[in-house]
């Protein structure tokens, strides 16, 4: 499968008893504590389905049988279609698709080295660079177009993304029903009609809870429109251990699973068969700095545990990863991004978001996208493990070479080394003298060189002309 990591060497953070206990804890939370559901439409659906509803508090208590029955009807494997078929991403529990992270508001200007508010051009450049990266599978617009009116940003963001990537796009800026309607109009124009889009929906829609245990009306109603338009729903939960969730990781994961199950129950009651993805980003509250500690080891652990429970219920999983609180592409960024990504990738998270952003998903650096892609491919090699077969044991080759010689000239070496060995793009493995002779370039400088190469050489399949016309019409309409 293109641009994906096959998971053969799986590592789990929960044993089977731990998965079961979190499962039943989440069901008990839904039945005993309940979730505040503010959408009137959702309230009516849940009441009609037999849920206990308190009119005054808007708290809904969910019968476990209803939750589990609707969970069982979910599609375990979901295809996130690319704009072109070569970039389809299959969320099947056997592959990890690395995704850019979304909705940052700042950018490090690649030319001027100025940190500034993000612009539409940054959305476009980030999509273009991510389209070229071999380890990148799905595009979540990394930043938003802060240089246009707020009521039109969702249109500008999607237009810039569609024009600069052929990969699947997942959106989080369509938070109202009318924004989703605009998104679907653009998607139809790009696909050649609404029916064509519904056959191959190359957009998915992110909708969120407000932890702990709260689902607002506007976002839920927007989710209904997205589901009706054929878009897969990624329901993103973000309880933070010690703040919007219990300080313990297991307790916070249970809260997140309860929120996601509530979201699926509502969506399936509205439109049965809608593709639904469990999504999360659970970082602890740093008790010294009083900030969200994105990139801490707990972030990776909660993502991996959430993935295991999601898979146990039969859902694909999307989690945050490659997260760091560092302000620049430095040593802290490297070890925090690796720490927050390696655990969920090895756990088999279907989609992991985070590449390219620093400051806990606030600022885009194009160089960091390239560095993170290298990290993802390194972890991907780890996830493949070691193949043991007649060909890989190579007894005939060993016998042919014999004692005291080397294997460099063997056909077996030439045929296998690209598959067996990790081949870096950014990392420099040369000697000191060779490194100095080539200018003593830092990792950041080499990543910048790769960005320049991509911007100069990479190409993207053009989008239909009518998409631009529809975008201009919608921008004019919403600008009023």
pLDDT in tens, the chain (480 residues): 568 888 888 889 999 999 999 999 999 999 999 999 999 999 999 999 999 999 999 999 999 999 999 999 887 889 999 999 999 999 999 999 999 988 899 999 999 999 999 999 999 999 999 999 999 999 999 999 999 999 999 999 999 999 999 999 999 988 999 999 999 999 999 999 999 999 999 999 999 999 999 999 999 999 999 999 999 999 999 999 999 999 999 999 999 999 999 999 999 999 999 999 999 999 888 888 878 888 889 999 999 999 999 999 999 999 999 999 999 999 999 999 999 999 999 999 999 998 999 999 999 999 999 999 999 999 999 998 999 999 999 999 999 999 999 999 999 999 999 989 999 999 999 999 999 999 999 999 999 999 999 999 999 999 999 999 999 999 999 987
282, 305 Cβ separation under 8 angstroms: no
Task: Name the 3-class secondary structure at 242.
Answer: coil
Q: 212 preceded by cis ω (within 30°)?
A: yes
- Give the DSSP letter string of 111-151: TT--EEE--HHHHHHHHHHHHH-TT--EE--SB--TTS-GG
State how far the Cα of 351 lies from the Cα of 238, in Å rounded to an integer: 16
109, 149 Cβ separation under 8 angstroms: no
pLDDT tens digits for 225-245? 999 999 999 999 999 999 999
The whole-number pLDDT of residue 294 equals 82
State how far the Cα of 86 lies from the Cα of 84, in Å rounded to an integer: 6
The whole-number pLDDT of residue 9 equals 83
The whole-number pLDDT of residue 257 equals 98
The whole-number pLDDT of residue 290 equals 78
State how far the Cα of 48 lies from the Cα of 236, in Å rounded to an integer: 25
Closest-CA residue to 351 (of 25, 79, 46, 75): 79
The whole-number pLDDT of residue 1 equals 55
The whole-number pLDDT of residue 256 equals 98
The whole-number pLDDT of residue 74 equals 83
CA distances from 242 to 155, 296, 321 (A): 36, 14, 19
Closest-CA residue to 169 (of 177, 179, 159, 178): 159
State how far the Cα of 455 lies from the Cα of 450, in Å rounded to an integer: 9
The whole-number pLDDT of residue 285 equals 83
End-to-end CA distance of the chain: 44
The whole-number pLDDT of residue 2 equals 61
The whole-number pLDDT of residue 286 equals 83
State how far the Cα of 458 lies from the Cα of 336, in Å rounded to an integer: 30
**Across the strands, what pairs with 357?**
364
- What residues contact 396, with CB distance under 8 A and at least 6 apart? none
pLDDT tens digits for 5-42? 888 888 899 999 999 999 999 999 999 999 999 999 99
Q: Which domains does the chain have, with CATH numbers?
A: 5-15+71-384 (3.20.20.480), 390-420 (no CATH)
Where are the alpha helices (H) located in 133-285, listed in sequence order? 153-162, 177-191, 194-199, 217-228, 249-270
State how far the Cα of 91 lies from the Cα of 356, in Å rounded to an integer: 22
The whole-number pLDDT of residue 8 equals 84
């Amino acid at each position: 499968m293109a641009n994906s990591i096959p998971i053969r060497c799986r590592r789990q953070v929960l044993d089977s008893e731990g998965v079961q206990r979190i499962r039943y804890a989440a069901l008990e939370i839904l039945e005993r504590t309940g979730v505040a559901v503010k959408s009137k439409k959702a309230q009516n659906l849940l009441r009609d389905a037999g849920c206990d509803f308190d009119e005054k508090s808007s708290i809904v208590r969910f019968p476990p049988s209803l939750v589990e029955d609707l969970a069982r009807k979910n599609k375990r494997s979901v295809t996130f279609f690319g704009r072109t078929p070569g970039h389809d991403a299959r969320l099947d529990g056997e592959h990890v698709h690395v995704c850019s992270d979304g909705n940052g508001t700042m950018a490090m200007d690649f030319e001027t080295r100025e940190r500034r508010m993000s612009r539409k051009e940054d959305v476009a450049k980030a999509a273009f660079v991510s389209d070229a990266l071999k380890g990148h599978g799905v595009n979540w617009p990394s930043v938003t177009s802060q240089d246009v009116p707020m009521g039109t940003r969702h249109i500008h963001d999607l237009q810039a993304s569609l024009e600069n990537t052929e990969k699947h796009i997942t959106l989080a800026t369509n938070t109202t029903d009318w924004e989703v309607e605009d998104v679907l109009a653009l998607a139809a124009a790009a696909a050649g009609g609404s029916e064509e889009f519904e056959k191959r929906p190359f957009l998915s829609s992110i909708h969120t809870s407000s932890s702990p245990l709260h689902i607002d009306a506007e976002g839920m109603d927007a989710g209904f429109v997205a589901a009706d338009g054929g878009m897969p729903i990624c329901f993103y939960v973000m309880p933070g251990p010690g703040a919007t969730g219990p300080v313990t990781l297991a307790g916070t994961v249970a809260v997140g699973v309860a929120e996601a199950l509530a979201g699926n129950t509502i969506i399936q009651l509205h439109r049965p068969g809608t593709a639904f993805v469990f999504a999360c980003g659970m970082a602890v509250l740093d008790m010294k700095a009083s900030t969200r500690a994105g990139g801490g080891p707990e972030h990776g652990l909660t993502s991996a545990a959430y993935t295991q429970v999601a898979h146990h219920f039969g859902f694909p999983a999307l989690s945050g990863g490659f997260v760091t609180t560092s302000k620049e592409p430095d040593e802290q960024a490297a070890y925090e991004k690796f720490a927050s990504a390696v655990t969920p990738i090895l756990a088999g998270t279907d989609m992991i978001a985070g590449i390219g952003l620093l400051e806990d998903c606030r600022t885009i650096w194009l160089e960091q996208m390239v560095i993170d892609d290298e990290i993802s491919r390194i972890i991907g090699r780890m996830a493949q493990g070691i193949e043991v077969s007649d060909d890989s044991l190579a007894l005939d080759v060993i016998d042919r070479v014999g004692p005291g010689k080397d294997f460099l000239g063997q056909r077996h070496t030439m045929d296998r080394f690209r598959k067996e060995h990790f081949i870096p793009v950014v990392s420099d493995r040369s000697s000191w003298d060779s490194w100095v002779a080539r200018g003593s370039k830092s990792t950041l400088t080499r990543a910048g060189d790769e960005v320049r190469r991509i911007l100069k050489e990479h190409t993207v399949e053009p989008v239909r002309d009518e998409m631009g016309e529809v975008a201009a019409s919608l921008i004019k309409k919403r600008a009023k």
